[in-house]
Structure 1
Amino acid sequence: MSLRSLCPLVRPLHTRALHTTCAVRKVDDLLAKFKNPSSPYYMAPGEVGPASPDDHTVSRPLPEEDVDWVAPPFTRHDRAPKLPHMDRGYDRQRATVHEWFDSNGFDSEGRVEWPVAWGDSDMYRHINNVSYCRYVESARMKWIESLVPDLGEVGQDYLYGRRTGFILKEQAVRYRYPVTYPDSLIIASKPHSIKPERSEFKIHCAMWSLKANRLALTCESTCTIYDFDKLKKGIMSDAVRDVLMARAH
């Protein structure tokens, strides 16, 4: 066999050996980084790396070793502003908002402060219109919860929709100011236009933006007494009427 005929066999072997040598050097370089305290890959004795590529936790001691481990401190301060519901600097502003609600006849019970979620934003970067309706719905249920102690034995029925309860007949929303993340909303409600003969009443809801310090939304909802056993409009009892009238005043 001539030397020329051996070349196709020798070259792959030479190339494979060269690739193997490069791979070994890369592994050696990586191991050296693990041992170098100035390297971001450094691991102190008694620590292990992540269990998988999806594990983003910091180094931790081996299970069989007794090593005192302390979580590393933050390297820099949190530069993100605190959300309004977490910042005590908004306390005086909150008090002013509640004073405004009180002076405009809103019920002192059932108020709620709602932290705005980033996921509630739309493509225009303000809170989506449907999200406002969900806020109002939750605030309405919070206000109904506040009625339970006053309603006595039937309070749980109105809260959980058993036998007789409240249902939403209609609502009209007026968007006054575009809320953006981050923000917190204080929502208050007040009943009015109570009509026992029609078994219905209205709830006026107001939503205040803490970040903008202005009224963001108002909503007018009509609720009806509903008989869940007979699946039709129910009767507003005198006890329920008295509770609603007391809250309206």
Structure 2
Amino acid sequence: MKIEIPEQKKLVLETRWPVRWGDMDAMGHVNNAMYFRYMETARIEWMTSVGCNPDPQGEGPVIVNAFCNFYRQLAYPDEVLIKMYLSDPGRTTFETWTTMERANEPGVICAAGGATVIWVDFPKQKAAALPQWLRELASV
């Protein structure tokens, strides 16, 4: 199955990771929980690359919703090509989208998911306005 990411989403990260033997389950394919780990790792890699290092005494991102759809199995020793996109910057939130495909089969999506990210004032434990730099990064 081939899935196209709509144009209103902005590609912000493309990276590759090897599937580790321990990522698989008893059925011999990557366990579904690992796809969420792959998406989390991509979000963290992107956030640190743009200088977003959450400070528990300041502000930063919090995931409030995450999902993943599974289309094809990944297994050891696959190499996963991960693409992360941003969209829909709001007052306090933005969306992340991630596709995962085998590096040796570009364009064939094995899984696709995403997350709603809210910007939080950690000491106050409440939503805060997205910083302008982040709003600009998430805008198409």
With the shorter chain as reference, the TM-score category is 0.7 to 0.9
Name 2:53's counterpart in structure 1. Answer: 159
| 1:106 and 1:188 in contact (8 A); partners too | no
> Does 1:191 find its partner at 2:80?
no
Matches within 5 A, 1:100-111: 106-107=10-11, 109-111=12-14
Name 1:145's counterpart in structure 2. Answer: 48
| 1:112 and 1:142 in contact (8 A); partners too | no
1:104 to partner: Cα distance: 9.0
Q: Whole-Å Cα distance in 1 between the matches of residues 103 and 83 of structure 2?
A: 14
Name 2:64's counterpart in structure 1. Answer: 169
Give the unaligned 5+ runs of structure 1: 1-99, 149-157
Q: Whole-Å Cα distance in 2 between the matches of residues 178 and 166 of structure 1?
A: 30
> Does 1:136 find its partner at 2:136?
no
Q: Secondary structure at the match of 1:145?
A: helix
1:218 to partner: Cα distance: 0.5
Q: Which has the higher helix share?
A: 1
Q: Whole-Å Cα distance in 1 between the matches of residues 9 and 64 of structure 2?
A: 23
Code of the aligned partner of 1:186: L
1:186–1:159: structure 2 CA closer, same or farther, 3 Å change rule?
same
Matches within 5 A, 1:220-239: 220-239=114-133
Deviations 1:41-67 (A, max 9, x none): xxxxxxxxxxxxxxxxxxxxxxxxxxx
Computed over aligned residues only, the root mean square deviation of the Cα atoms, in angstroms, reads 2.2
1:131 to partner: Cα distance: 0.9
Q: Whole-Å Cα distance in 1 between the matches of residues 132 and 10 of structure 2?
A: 23
Normalized against structure 2, the TM-score is what? 0.84
Name 1:66's counterpart in structure 2. Answer: none
Give the unaligned 5+ runs of structure 2: none
1:220 to partner: Cα distance: 2.0
Name 1:45's counterpart in structure 2. Answer: none
Q: Whole-Å Cα distance in 1 between the matches of residues 10 and 71 of structure 2?
A: 18
Considering Cα pairs closer than 8 Å and 6+ residues apart, tell me whether 1 or 2 has the greater RCO: 2
Matches within 5 A, 1:104-123: 106-107=10-11, 109-123=12-26
Q: Secondary structure at the match of 1:111?
A: strand
How many positions carry a matched residue from both structures?
134
Q: Which has the larger radius of gyration?
A: 1
Code of the aligned partner of 1:189: M
Normalized against structure 1, the TM-score is what? 0.49
| 2:84 and 2:99 in contact (8 A); partners too | yes
Q: Whole-Å Cα distance in 1 between the matches of residues 101 and 73 of structure 2?
A: 11
Code of the aligned partner of 1:119: G
1:106 to partner: Cα distance: 4.7
Q: Whole-Å Cα distance in 2 between the matches of residues 201 and 104 of structure 1?
A: 13
Deviations 1:86-122 (A, max 9, x none): xxxxxxxxxxxxxx98x89652x43221100011111
Code of the aligned partner of 1:122: D
Q: Secondary structure at the match of 1:137?
A: helix
